[in-house]
Chains A and B, each alone.
Chain A
Amino acid sequence: MTGSTAYALYGVFALGAIAMFLLLPQPQRSRPLVGAVAGLAALALLLVVLATRVATADTTVYFYLFAALAIASAARVISHPRPVYSALYFVLTVIAVAALLVLQHAEFLAVALIIIYAGAILVTYLFVIMLAHQGGSAVYDRRAREPLWTVLICFLLMATITTRAAVLPPAASPKGVPVSSSVAAGPAQLDGPPATFGNTAAVGATLMSRYIVAIQMAGVLLLISLVGAIALSRRKVRSDVPPMSARPLGQIGREVQPF
């Protein structure tokens, strides 16, 4: 990334930081509409800056489409005052990222991402949100903690990473030989039209030969997590809030507020 592009990106990040600061839930001086407009402007500028330095190809437009979708939905995940909507916007992020992985010829990983994230992890999140639901959006959802400093630091981090990306040559040119010669089928199927659809066979061969020990360890880790989650959920907890059943039976109905 040359100097002028980097400076343009810094400007885009500054605009994005302002947008994110306005979008974060805050009780006073909250202007989500202005934030949304600024955020969309920053996103459009980011795409324009990227488009000026990349020669167009037939799949380029899909990268821009899904990148914009991923960034916009991720911004909504962290700024929406209701957790259920955050989780649903996160599904959108996962789908956009999976589409980007397909563009990168990582078909197996894209499908795995959708199945594991949108299928399994998000359902767990939604279950917990429903279990801990308190009706409407709570006070702590409508008030962010130190939004100014957080946005400042995180956008500085983004700008720093972007500057370091300048070291790499812009085109996706292959850099010589692979780091280590693993499966022969692996590198050949990464690029170009594959003989059969997807790279599942190549990924599976890599995982089952080079990473076989890591696969076993991942299985053990999942088992440990399973046992740990069950042990955690079965634990007896001393609640600080008196439960409903501890009160006299006739009093319970009278204390309930009518909505």
Chain B
Amino acid sequence: MIGVSEHILLGAVLFGLGLIGFLSRRNLIVIFLSTEVMFQGVVINAVAFARYHRHLDGQAFALFLLVIAAVEAGLALGMVMLLYRQKQTLDAEDWSSMRG
């Protein structure tokens, strides 16, 4: 029987891979794709805990997570297009002046 530990492990691996992409890639679109990979890891965790506790709270939480992902994708891609129209590049390093 596959238990909750295996799903936590899988969720952690997906989350970590997404974090690697988020921190190391320079393309703005790929950065946001990496956050979606992290979301997948969190969804797996939430559903595994829903089954572990025999309760639907985890699944409801995962559904709200989908809502947040949709909102984030819409707004983030709008901003990415705005940045692209200004500099004609998707390189995150070009905006390093915002670091202050």
Give the complex CA separation of A138 and B58 in angstroms: 41
B23 engages A225 (CB within 8 Å): no
A residues 31-83 in Cβ contact with B at 8 Å: 46, 50, 54-55, 57, 59-60, 63, 67, 70-71, 74-75, 77-79, 83
| Cβ–Cβ < 8 Å partners of A101 in chain B | 43-44, 47
- Of A70, A78, A116, A155, the most chain B CB neighbours within 10 A belong to A78
A199 to B85, CA, bound (A): 45
CB within 8 Å of A: which B56-100 residues: 56-57, 59-60, 62-64, 66-71, 73-75, 77-82, 84-93
**A12 to nearest B CB, angstroms?**
10
Give the CA-CA distance A121 to B70 in the complex, in Å.
6
Q: Do A174 and B53 have beta carbons less than 8 Å apart?
A: yes
* Residues of B21-63 contacting chain A, CB below 8 A: 21, 23-27, 29-30, 32-34, 36-37, 40, 43-44, 47-48, 50-57, 59-60, 62-63
Main secondary structure of the interface of A (DSSP, over half): helix
* A59, A138, A146 — most chain B CB neighbours (10 Å): A138
Q: Which of A111-131 contact B (CB under 8 A)?
A: 112-113, 116-117, 120-121, 124-125, 128-129, 131
Cα A106 to Cα B56 in complex, Å, equals 9
- Whether A54 and B57, one on each chain, are in contact in the complex, defined by CB atoms closer than 8 angstroms, is no
Bound-state CA distance A67–B32 (Å) is 22
Minimum CB distance partner of A160 in chain B: B12
Residue from B3, B43, B63, B67 within 8 A of A222 (CB atoms): B67
Binary interface profile of A, 153-184, with partner B (CB < 8 Å = 1, else 0)?
11101100110011011111011001110110
Binding site for B on A (CB under 8 A): 1, 9, 16, 20, 24, 46, 50, 54-55, 57, 59-60, 63, 67, 70-71, 74-75, 77-79, 83, 86-87, 90, 93-94, 97, 100-101, 103-106, 108-109, 112-113, 116-117, 120-121, 124-125, 128-129, 131-132, 138-141, 143-147, 150-151, 153-155, 157-158, 161-162, 165-166, 168-172, 174-175, 178-180, 182-183, 186-187, 190-191, 199, 202-203, 206-207, 210-211, 214, 218, 221-222, 224-226, 228-229, 232-233, 235, 237-241
* Cβ–Cβ contact B43 & A190, under 8 A: no
Chain B residues near A141 (CB, 8 Å)?
A: 25-27, 30
Task: Provide a sorted-by-A list of 11 A–B residue pairs whose CB atoms are within 8 angstroms.
Answer: A71-B17, A74-B13, A83-B30, A97-B43, A117-B66, A138-B27, A141-B30, A161-B16, A162-B9, A183-B56, A232-B79
- CB-CB under 8 A from B71, the residues of chain A are 221-222, 224-225
Contacts of A139 in B (CB 8 A): 91
B59 touches A214 (CB 8 A): no
Q: Tell me the complex Cα distance, A151–B96, Å.
A: 22
Name the contact of A75 in the complex, choosing from B17, B19, B53 (C-beta under 8 A).
Answer: B17
